């Protein structure tokens, strides 16, 4: 399918009333991390989501409010508000709002006034699970049950979740996530090592199966005369990808077999928060914090890699990601440190919204094509009053990624069946 400029807008614009914006508003999506509002009556945080400016706060009863960023009175920023006694109080004239957006106190009006009963601010429902505060921003009658991805059922001891800002449209991020071929190049971090699994065959063949949650695809690399290396990726609507980390870059078993994934959550059309997920494949080996942080370091998104007090990276477009041309000449393919930093350099460098009408897609872009088709189908569905694919938890509850070696010629779907059964 050729993506015209018109289709590109349909795929990428996320504000209220846009086709994709309306699709995304039919799913429960991440608003922020639990760690951003760690304690009852703590400081509220700014949340910009799908182009809307909001504020999140945890009230005295541990209820989480996600409300519009501006006070109903004269639009003062509620970010500066006082979070006290089950409500967020505007510091301009003291109006107070609860987690539902109702005005519960209006001290600038006389005590007998009923004015406050007619005043409210917009508030979205929230659901806290897996270290993430989720919200639903669509029409109430269409609200699905909360999400139930496998990683949301994993105990804290076996799960790590983080978040990183990326300066480009969310779809650019997804398309990197379901593009297995680039890991043979962009993520080749030792060009002197001829035994790296993904460089043994740099042109994987891709086979896509559309599923109730989105699709899965097998990427098959023929790594020797008799062996194939197959990776099963999951694309979970609308913006999640999962893959397995069961073997290391040379094909040896990982000490802690895990599943990895991301959700690319639009801040607005040209900015995205990437939620990074890592969970243990079984309950055999838990994931201590140090181990999670070591993996964050490898990916270039460790807390030390961030600009203080933010989720944005120090290696960014303003400094060309600190690319080291000597390292690029002698050691790594990109010369950029951090696996995800490599992704961001390429995806952000395409521009805020990449010109898809100018692309030349090849055989390894099959999954990307399928993703666009499913998202466009979802836009059609929502316009026609149908729920989009994958919004109900039944559709994604039993979805898991995998990777394994199989004899060449053996069908990958059968071979990976047990491996992709959920454990949690
Ligand atoms: S602007 Fe918020 S109370 Fe007046
Ligand atoms: Fe990547």
The reply to whether 8 falls in a domain is no
Burial of 299 from C-beta contacts in 10 A (0-12 / 13-18 / 19+) = buried
Give the three-state DSSP class for 363. helix
Of 44, 55, 92, which is best to mutate to test ligand 1, by the most ligand atoms within 8 angstroms of its C-beta?
A: 92
The reply to whether 397 falls in a domain is yes
Eight-state DSSP code of residue 195 = T
| Judgement on whether residues 162 and 135 belong to the same structural domain of the protein | no
- The alpha carbon of 174 and the centre of ligand 2 are apart by a number of angstroms equal to 10
Distance, C-alpha 309 to centroid of its chain = 20
Sheet holding 88-89, edge to edge: 82-83, 88-89, 96-97, 103-105
Determine which helix (DSSP H) or strand (DSSP E) holds 53, and give its type and residue range: strand 52-58
The reply to whether 253 falls in a domain is yes
- The alpha carbon of 344 and the centre of ligand 2 are apart by a number of angstroms equal to 8
| Judgement on whether residues 129 and 263 belong to the same structural domain of the protein | no
The reply to whether 390 falls in a domain is yes
Give the three-state DSSP class for 11. helix
Determine how many CB atoms are found less than 10 A away from the CB of residue 197.
20
**216 strand-pairing partners:** 209, 234
Burial of 419 from C-beta contacts in 10 A (0-12 / 13-18 / 19+) = middle
The reply to whether 96 falls in a domain is yes
| Judgement on whether residues 336 and 242 belong to the same structural domain of the protein | yes
| Judgement on whether residues 257 and 315 belong to the same structural domain of the protein | yes
The reply to whether 19 falls in a domain is no
| Judgement on whether residues 295 and 381 belong to the same structural domain of the protein | yes
For residues 272 and 166, give the distance between their C-alpha atoms in angstroms, rounded to a whole number.
5
Ion ligand 2: protein residues whose beta carbon lies under 5 Å = 343
| Judgement on whether residues 36 and 82 belong to the same structural domain of the protein | yes
Question: At 44, which CATH number?
Answer: 2.102.10.10
- Residue 238, preceding bond cis, omega within 30 degrees? yes
| Judgement on whether residues 312 and 180 belong to the same structural domain of the protein | yes
The reply to whether 13 falls in a domain is no
The reply to whether 12 falls in a domain is no
| Judgement on whether residues 304 and 381 belong to the same structural domain of the protein | yes
pLDDT at residue 198, rounded to an integer: 84
Picking from 107, 126, 142, the residue at the C-terminal end of a domain is 142
Residues 6+ apart with CB under 8 A from 252: none
| Closest ligand 1 atom to Cα of 76 | 1
- The alpha carbon of 82 and the centre of ligand 1 are apart by a number of angstroms equal to 12
| Judgement on whether residues 179 and 124 belong to the same structural domain of the protein | no
Looking at the structure of the chain, the number of domains it has is: 2
Question: At 161, which CATH number?
Answer: 3.90.380.10
| Judgement on whether residues 84 and 174 belong to the same structural domain of the protein | no
| Judgement on whether residues 129 and 154 belong to the same structural domain of the protein | no
- The alpha carbon of 185 and the centre of ligand 2 are apart by a number of angstroms equal to 9
| Judgement on whether residues 214 and 356 belong to the same structural domain of the protein | yes
Picking from 96, 120, 142, the residue at the C-terminal end of a domain is 142
- Atom 1 in ligand 1: residue holding the nearest Cα: 74
Nearest residue to 274 via CA among 290, 261, 263: 263
Q: Are 257 and 282 in contact (CB under 8 A)?
A: yes
Per-residue pLDDT 10s for the chain (424 aa) are: 899 999 999 999 999 999 999 999 999 999 999 999 999 999 999 999 999 999 999 999 999 999 999 999 999 999 999 999 999 999 999 999 999 999 999 999 999 999 999 999 999 999 999 999 999 999 999 999 999 999 999 999 999 999 999 999 999 999 999 999 999 999 999 999 998 988 899 999 999 999 999 999 999 999 999 999 999 999 999 999 999 999 999 999 999 999 999 999 999 999 999 999 999 999 999 999 999 999 999 999 999 999 999 999 999 999 999 999 999 999 999 999 999 999 999 999 999 999 999 999 999 999 999 999 999 999 999 999 999 999 999 999 999 999 999 999 999 999 999 999 999 9
Picking from 142, 161, 182, the residue at the C-terminal end of a domain is 142
- Atom 4 in ligand 1: residue holding the nearest Cα: 93
- The alpha carbon of 123 and the centre of ligand 1 are apart by a number of angstroms equal to 17
Q: Which domain holds residue 279?
A: 150-415
Over the range 164-176, which residues count as b (16 or more CB within 10 Å of their CB) and which as e?
A: bbbbbbbbbbbbb
Q: Ligand 1 — pocket residues by CB below 6 A?
A: 71, 73-74, 76, 90, 92-95
């Amino acid at each position: 399918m050729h993506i015209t400029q018109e289709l590109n807008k349909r795929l990428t614009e996320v504000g209220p009333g846009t086709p994709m914006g309306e699709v995304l508003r039919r799913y429960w999506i991440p608003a922020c991390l639990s760690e951003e509002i760690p304690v009852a009556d703590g400081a509220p945080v700014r949340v910009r989501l799908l182009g809307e400016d909001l504020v999140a706060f945890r009230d005295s009863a541990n209820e989480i409010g996600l409300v519009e960023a501006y006070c109903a009175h004269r639009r003062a920023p509620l970010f500066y508000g006082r979070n006290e006694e089950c409500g967020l109080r505007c510091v301009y004239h003291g109006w107070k709002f609860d987690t539902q957006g109702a005005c519960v106190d209006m001290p600038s009006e006389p005590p007998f006034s009923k004015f406050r009963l007619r005043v409210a601010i917009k508030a979205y429902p929230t659901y806290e699970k897996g270290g993430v505060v989720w919200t639903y921003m669509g029409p109430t009658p269409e609200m699905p049950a909360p999400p139930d991805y496998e990683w949301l059922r994993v105990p804290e001891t076996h799960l790590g979740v983080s978040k990183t800002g990326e300066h480009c449209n969310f779809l650019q991020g997804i398309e990197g996530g379901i593009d297995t071929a680039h890991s043979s190049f962009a993520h080749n971090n030792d060009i002197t090592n001829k035994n790296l699994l993904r460089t043994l065959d740099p042109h994987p063949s891709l086979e896509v199966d559309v599923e109730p949650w989105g699709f899965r695809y097998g990427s098959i690399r023929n790594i020797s005369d008799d062996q194939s290396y197959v990776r099963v990726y999951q694309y979970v609507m609308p913006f999640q990808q999962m893959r397995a980390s069961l073997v290391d870059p040379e094909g040896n078993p990982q000490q802690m077999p895990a599943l990895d994934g991301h959700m690319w959550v639009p801040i607005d059309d040209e900015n995205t928060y990437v939620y990074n997920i890592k969970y243990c494949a079984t309950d055999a080996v838990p994931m201590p914090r140090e181990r999670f942080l070591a993996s964050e370091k490898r990916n270039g998104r460790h807390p030390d890699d961030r600009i203080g007090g933010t989720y944005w990276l120090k290696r960014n477009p303003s400094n060309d990601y600190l690319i080291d041309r000597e390292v690029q000449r002698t050691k790594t393919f990109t010369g950029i440190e951090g696996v995800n930093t490599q992704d961001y350099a390429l995806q952000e460098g395409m521009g805020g919204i990449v010109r898809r009408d100018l692309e030349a897609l090849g055989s390894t872009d099959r999954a990307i094509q399928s993703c666009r088709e499913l998202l466009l189908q979802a836009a059609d569905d929502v316009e026609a009053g149908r729920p989009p694919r994958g919004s109900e938890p039944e559709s994604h509850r039993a979805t898991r990624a995998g990777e394994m070696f199989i004899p060449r010629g053996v069908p990958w779907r059968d071979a990976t069946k047990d491996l992709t059964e959920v454990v949690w």
